[in-house]
Amino acid sequence: MARKIVITSGKGGVGKTTATASIGYALAALKKKVLLCDLDFGLNNLDIVTGVEGEVVYDVCDVLEGKCRVRQAIIQDKNRSTLYILPSGNSLDNDDISGQRIKLMLESVSNYFEYILIDCPAGLDTGFHRAVSCADEAIVVVTPNLSSIRDANKTISVLLSYELKGISVLVNRARGDLMVEQKMIFPDDIAKILNVGLLGVVPEEDAVFLSVGNSLPRFCDSFKAYKIIADNIVKNKNRAFDPLKKYSGFFGSIRRRIKRDI
């Protein structure tokens, strides 16, 4: 049976879909069999972020409407033989689709995968509950700013009403240069405020949005950060990428200066 992990946040635009794809890539690099499932109906974009939008024939809604079998809707990634994507439907009119039906659909393929990562819509309404009800664990993506932390806090309070095996936080868009100068809250402090374990820290990097449709380049810090996150998920550890390292010491102060001048 696959571990089913929902990637959620409450707030939109914090990096849920990017995290779903990037964690999937990193798990696949560890030879884990992974299914990425887009449950952001209507505002779906996991297919674009993973670069399979041209191969979509059927989606989750077609499966639920009985137009095809779930295996027909699942797309195998071209570059990673153990990574699969289940795209979501385009229709915004989907409130009648119950979480229970999606849960049963995912359970029917659960034995073929080791991990099922569920991309959750923003907000705390129907779509959120539908996605969370299919999962046994949750990763809350948060960015280091007050509105995102407050939304994450509300999200976690709702997640606590579900019988999840684990809730952890992923701090995205961390700026080491600002942290060194005490201008940005530290990831550890965010985890303490939210009272959940810190699964990982991903730095803010142009490479992330430039890589849409492809995986992250190996040399970039966010690639390393997602590698650590995948390792944490597999081994139940809590190491984290250190966004400050690059900006500490003599060379770090030069990097900070250059970044300020850009």
> Given the rule CB under 6 A, which residues bind ligand ADP?
9, 12-18, 122, 172-173, 202, 204-205, 208-209, 212, 222
Which residue is closest to ligand ADP by CB? 209
Q: Is 88 in the site for Mg ion (CB under 5 A)?
A: no
Q: Which is nearer to ligand ADP, 222 or 232 (CB)?
A: 222
Q: Is 155 in the site for Mg ion (CB under 5 A)?
A: no
Q: Which stretch binds Mg ion (CB under 5 A): 12-20, 66-74, 137-145, 182-190?
A: 12-20
Q: Which is nearer to ligand ADP, 26 or 208 (CB)?
A: 208
Q: Which is nearer to ligand ADP, 3 or 175 (CB)?
A: 175
Q: CB within 8 A of 117, min separation 6: which ones?
A: 5, 7, 20, 23, 24, 27, 34, 35, 36, 37
Provide the minimum distance between the beta carbon of 176 and ligand ADP in the complex, in angstroms, as a whole number: 12
Provide the minimum distance between the beta carbon of 110 and ligand ADP in the complex, in angstroms, as a whole number: 24
In the numeric block, which tokens belong to residue 90?
């385009």
> Cα dist. 256→172, 174, 175, 203, 253 in Å?
19, 14, 10, 14, 5
Provide the minimum distance between the beta carbon of 130 and ligand ADP in the complex, in angstroms, as a whole number: 16
- Identify the CA nearest to 11 among candidates 210, 155, 187: 155
Provide the minimum distance between the beta carbon of 104 and ligand ADP in the complex, in angstroms, as a whole number: 25
CA 220, 226, 231, 234: dihedral to nearest 10 degrees? -150
Q: Which is nearer to ligand ADP, 2 or 208 (CB)?
A: 208
**Quick check: helix, strand or coil at residue 228?**
helix
- The site partner of 205 among Mg ion, ligand ADP, none (C-beta below 5 to 8 Å per kind) is ligand ADP
Q: Which is nearer to ligand ADP, 109 or 190 (CB)?
A: 190
**Quick check: helix, strand or coil at residue 195?**
coil
Q: Which is nearer to Mg ion, 7 or 191 (CB)?
A: 7
Q: Is 17 in the site for Mg ion (CB under 5 A)?
A: yes
Signed CA dihedral, 74, 79, 82, 85: sign only: negative
Provide the minimum distance between the beta carbon of 15 and ligand ADP in the complex, in angstroms, as a whole number: 4
Provide the minimum distance between the beta carbon of 164 and ligand ADP in the complex, in angstroms, as a whole number: 19
Total site size for Mg ion, rule CB under 5 A: 2
Q: Alpha-carbon distance 86 to 173, whole Å? A: 26
Q: Which is nearer to ligand ADP, 99 or 243 (CB)?
A: 243
Q: Pairing relation of β-strands 166-174 and 83-86? A: unpaired
Provide the minimum distance between the beta carbon of 7 and ligand ADP in the complex, in angstroms, as a whole number: 8
- Identify the CA nearest to 139 among candidates 53, 3, 16, 37: 16
Q: Alpha-carbon distance 73 to 240, whole Å? A: 35
Q: CB within 8 A of 2, min separation 6: which ones?
A: 35, 110, 111, 112, 113, 114, 115, 116
Tell me which residues touch Mg ion (CB under 5 A): 16-17
